[in-house]
Amino acid sequence: MLRRVFLAASPALLAVPAAAQDMRAGDLTVERPWTRAAGQGATGAGFLTVSNRGAAADRLLSASSPAAGRMELHSMVRDGEVMRMRAVEAVEIPAGQTVTLRPGGLHLMLVGLSRPLREGETVPVVLRFERAGPVEVTLAVQAAGAREPAAHRH
């Protein structure tokens, strides 16, 4: 059972400008979900913060979106002088802790975008957690080179 319902999952929904909202699912809170502008057929990245206020750990197992052919969970690791992206099986969300998916670290990969992601638009994503289950969030599309969501820039 999804924690949030969208009116539709069509590409038209992706074009509606709106602010991304924080989402609560059981002991988890997903905050500041965002992505960067990217071209159709390209690869995009999703970022967000997950806080676990519960006594039990949870794990982000997967993600999906109608905006991408597939989504993967990735990390960035240093290999000598080079940063390399690696797929990860899951993202651990320890009890009582917060995990941030951000540029240069853990992130969501949107592979094979079905349409361009334009600044000011939003992208629906379903996150699948081991304990909390599926949670729908909306990524706010920021400028192509953004390092953080616009609302949090200094």
CATH number for the domain spanning 112: value is 2.60.40.1890
Judge whether 6 lies within some domain.
Answer: no
Judge whether 7 lies within some domain.
Answer: no
2 vs 61, which has greater pLDDT? Answer: 61
Q: Taking residues 9-22, report their average pLDDT.
A: 45
Judge whether 4 lies within some domain.
Answer: no
Position 148 scores a pLDDT of 85
Helix (H, G, I), strand (E, B) or coil at 80: coil
Judge whether 152 lies within some domain.
Answer: no
Position 12 scores a pLDDT of 37
Diameter over CA atoms, the chain: 47
Q: Model's pTM, two decimal places?
A: 0.82
Tell me which residue range forms the domain holding 93.
Answer: 13-143
Q: 117: which 2 tokens?
A: 């992601």
Judge whether 17 lies within some domain.
Answer: yes
CB proximity list for 125: less than 8 A, separation 6 or greater = 33, 46, 63, 64, 65, 67, 71, 108, 136, 137, 138, 139
Judge whether 97 lies within some domain.
Answer: yes
Question: Residue 145 — pLDDT band, cuts 50, 70, 90?
Answer: confident
Q: Taking residues 21-27, report their average pLDDT.
A: 84
Number of domains into which the chain is organized: 1
